[in-house]
Amino acid sequence: MNGSYRKRGDKWSYIVDLGPDPATGKRRQKEKGGFKTKKEAQAAAAELIVQLENNNYRKPVKQLLEKYLSDWLESKRISLKSNTYASYKHHIEYHIIPAMGKIDITKLTPAEIGKFYATLLNEKKLAEGTVRDVHKVFTAALNQAVKWGIIQRNPAALVEKPRAGRKELSVWTAEQAKEFLKIALTDRLYVAFLLALSTGMRQGEILGLRWKDVDLEAGTLHIVQTLSHDGKELSAGTKTKSGNRTVSIDADLVKILRKQKARILQERLKAQEGEYTDYDLVTPTSKGTPVTPRNLSRTFYRLLSQSEVPHITFHDLRHTHATLLLTQGIHPKVVAERLGHADMRVTLEIYSHVLPHMQKDAAEKVGKLLFS
C-alpha cells in the first residue's frame, strides 16, 4: 500500500488508496494537503498507511473546530487551576474561535495555523509572548484530539511557534524604590508594596499570604497560597511547582509585619458581629476579605501619580527586587530561589541586562586583589 504526492503552489499533499468501499465496492482515496515539505507529507501518509494495515483506521467525522475546542475546554475544567483555565478560555474564545472556529478540525492544516499566528502578530498587534501562549493552548487541544481519535496528526505541532521577543524590563533603582515607599507609607496597602519590593513575591502570592504562613520569630515567609486574578478564589499552591517556597525576610520587615498584625487584630475586635470575615490574611481589606488585584493596581497607580519615580507596573516591583539583588552581588541561584524559578537559567535569561554590570564589578574586584 503506497501513497502518491503532489505539490500545489508551495504546499505538498498526499493521496492514499483506502481500498474498496465494503458497501459499494467503489475505490476510495484520501487526500490531505497543507504540508510545507514532501517529507512532512510522506510522514503523514506513512502514519495513515500503518493504520490501514493494522485495521485501526477510522474515517474522520466532520466536526467544527469551535465545537471541539468548547468540549475540550470543558473537559479541562476539573484538572486546571482556575487561573490557568481562565487563560485557556480567553485564548480560545477571543482569538482561536473567532478566526478559525468554522473550520472542520479534520481539514485543519499547518499552513492555516501559521497564517493565523501571522495575523495575530501583524494585524492584531498581539505581543509575541501572547501568541506563543495561544500556540501552547492550540497545540495542547489538538494533541488531545489525536488521542481521542478525532484527527490523525496534530497540525499545530508542525508549525513553528512564534519567536520569543526579549522585552526590556522597567525597574527602579534603590533610591526610587525608597522614594515610592515614602509616598505609600500611610496607605493601607503599604505592606503589599513593601513585600513586593523586599521579597519579589507575585501579586497573587502577596494577596494570598496568611499569618499562619509567616514565622516572625524565624524571619521567614512560606508561600503556599495564591489569590486568583479576579480576586474571587484563594487556592493552595502557586503559579508553578517551584513557586511553593520559603523566603527569608530582614529584621526591619519583621517589625513592620508585627505592627500590621496588631492593626488587623484591632480592626477585627472593633468590628460588629457579622461585619468581619477572618481569612487570616496579611494584607486584607478592613473587613478581613481579600484585596482584589484590581484594587491593588488602582491604589498602586494612584500613589505613582503622586510621586516623581518612573511609572512601572506592579509586576515590575518583582523585577526590581531581583535586579537589586543581582547588582549587589547576590548569587543568581539565591535570587532564583526567592523568585520561585525552577531553573537558575531562567533567572539569568530574564535579568541578562544586569550581567554587564556584574562583569565589570567582578573585573574591578579581581583587579584590586591582584594590583593593590
Domain boundaries, the chain: 3-53, 65-158, 174-309
Predicted local confidence at residue 225, as pLDDT: 92
Per-residue pLDDT, 166? 57
Q: SS in 3 state form for the chain?
A: CCEEEEEECCEEEEEEEEEECCCCCCEEEEEEEEECCHHHHHHHHHHHHHHHHCCCCCCCCCCEHHHHHHHHHHHCCCCCCHHHHHHHHHHHHHHHHHHHCCCEHHHCCHHHHHHHHHHHHHCCCCCHHHHHHHHHHHHHHHHHHHHCCCCCCCHHHHCCCCCCCCCCCCCCCHHHHHHHHHHHCCCCCHHHHHHHHHHCCCHHHHHHCEHHHEECCCCEEEECEEECCCCCCEEECCCCHHHCEEEECCHHHHHHHHHHHHHHHHHHHHCCCCCCCCCCECCECCCCCECCHHHHHHHHHHHHHCCCCCCCCCHHHHHHHHHHHHHCCCCHHHHHHHHCCCCHHHHHHHCHHHHHHHHHHHHHHHHHHHHC
Domains 65-158 and 174-309 share a fold: no
| pLDDT reported for residue 197 | 97
CATH number for the domain whose boundaries are 65-158:
1.10.150.130
Per-residue pLDDT, 28 = 79
pLDDT of residue 372: 63
For residue 61, what pLDDT is reported?
A: 64
Residue 56's pLDDT is what? 67
Is pTM, for the whole model, over 0.85? Answer: no
Give residue 98's pLDDT: 95
What pLDDT does residue 102 have? 94
For residue 57, the model assigns a pLDDT of: 64
pLDDT of 59: 63
Q: Mean pLDDT of residues grouped by 10 in the chain (372 residues)?
A: 81 84 76 85 83 69 89 91 86 95 92 92 86 94 90 89 70 95 96 97 96 96 91 77 86 97 94 90 95 96 95 94 90 91 84 72 75 70
As its CATH architecture, domain 174-309 has Orthogonal Bundle (1.10)
In this prediction, residue 365 carries a pLDDT of 74
